[in-house]
Amino acid sequence: GSKKLNIDPYSIMWNRVVDVSDSALRNIIIGLGTKADGRPRQTGYDITVASEIMAILALCSDLKDIRKRLGRIVFGTDKNGKPLTAEDLGVAGAMAVLMREAIMPNLLQTLEHTPAFVHAGPFANIAHGNSSIIADRIALKLADYVVTESGFGADCGMEKFMNIKCRISGLRPNCVVIVASVRALKMHGGGPRVVPGRPLDPAYQQEDLQLLEKGLPNLIQHIENARLFGVPVVVAVNKFTTDTPGEIEMIKDAAVKAGAEGAFTSEVWAKGGAGGAELAEAIVAACEKPTNFQFLYPDDWTIKQKIEAIATKIYRADGVDYDAEAERKIKLFTDMGLGHLPICMAKTHLSFTHDPAIKGAPRGWRLPVRDVRASVGAGFLYPLCGAIRTMPGLPTRPAFVDVDIDLETGRVIGLF
């Protein structure tokens, strides 16, 4: 039983998780009541996509590997500071049984019947944000070219793809495709705020080369970041009907100047596969080029060196400030022999910085790290940058209030 483990209740690093945005569960006290109801303890819930189990699912290679990783999870320490694992707790076997069928990827198809795996859901802001290694491996056996998505901004998903997923899988990319749009770049250039549900500002719907130009440094930083890993870069411009040839041209010029192979429009949303043919050809060509893949940091750097490498080279911060709790954890994890693990930054994807409101390609700022946690089973440490939360909140008007069932037809309404 758990008593013999002599668990230090203050050392517990695992939260419960739930798959709804229940912000009232972020900070809770459990175990109130009588002796039979546990012991009182401050804890909280994370959202399921931030669970270490989700990361393990996406990073494991097979059943044996997930069993091993689940057993390796460190949930806390005993009162002498010795790390305690899921194996110590006797739950790793049961966890593996629950995950036994989950590790098999789901094969779906597009409207044009192209096969696609949809497998694993770690968000790229609060987790490592990539599709599963197992799905990629199966895909590589089945197809000549495999496109795998790394979520959110390339400072989030792509950086973690390179430094975490490639490190664990041993696989190497032949090409990076960065998706951009005129609208998004205008927003990074300082365009009016975009609010869901409100009509889009005209600035985004008519040519505004000056605004677009102000936003280009954001794209350029992403291209430069991708080039750091020694892989060719192609930019895909997700074309809207209101984009003008002048705007597209401006993006293309900037992309090439920043080191990309080129920038190509995609109209897949309107024309299906045909709408991406030119882009696809360019990607195929880029994949022929030699690569010189390299990680941003080696395993044997200190935790702080790794964090600061990402902060300064990818985000372009001047440096990193650590809260006392972060300092304490870095020391703890180093002492626990976890210093060799790669880093999975938990940071907003809405900015290169920790502050979602700061757009473009900011310089002259410092990254605050308020805490660091360890996912030993998944195989990384994750610093919490700024106010990033592992349990999101709902918008003021949650989407569920619009959802209902049409009782005449039995159909669901209000989802879109």
b/e per residue 195-211 (b: at least 16 CB within 10 A): eeeeeeeebbeeebeeb
Distance in Å, CB of 26 to a copy of itself, minimum: 5
How many angstroms separate the CA atoms of 13 and 370, rounded?
Answer: 15
Yes or no: say if 366 and 410 are a contact pair by the CB < 8 Å rule.
no
Nearer to a copy of itself, 24 or 111 (CB): 24
**Which residues make Cβ contacts (< 8 Å) with residue 397, sequence separation at least 6?**
none
Nearer to a copy of itself, 26 or 137 (CB): 26
Distance in Å, CB of 240 to a copy of itself, minimum: 31
| Cα distance from N-terminal residue to C-terminal residue, the chain | 48
In DSSP terms, 7 is beta-bridged to: 78
Burial-class residue 112 by CB neighbours within 10 Å (0-12, 13-18, 19+). Answer: exposed
Nearer to a copy of itself, 11 or 174 (CB): 11
Q: Of 383, 299, 295, which is closest to residue 340 (Cα–Cα)?
A: 299
In DSSP terms, 369 is beta-bridged to: 322, 385
Distance in Å, CB of 65 to a copy of itself, minimum: 10
What are the φ/ψ torsions at residue 265 (nearest 5 degrees)?
Answer: -75, 150
Nearer to a copy of itself, 63 or 118 (CB): 63
Nearer to a copy of itself, 278 or 323 (CB): 323
Distance in Å, CB of 152 to a copy of itself, minimum: 22
Would you tell me which residues interact with a copy of itself (CB under 8 A)?
1, 8, 10, 18, 23-42, 63-64, 67, 90-94, 96-97, 100, 321, 323-324, 368, 370, 386-387, 393, 396-397, 400-401, 403-405, 407, 410, 412, 414
How many angstroms separate the CA atoms of 162 and 230, rounded?
Answer: 11
Distance in Å, CB of 232 to a copy of itself, minimum: 40
Distance in Å, CB of 367 to a copy of itself, minimum: 13
Nearer to a copy of itself, 16 or 257 (CB): 16
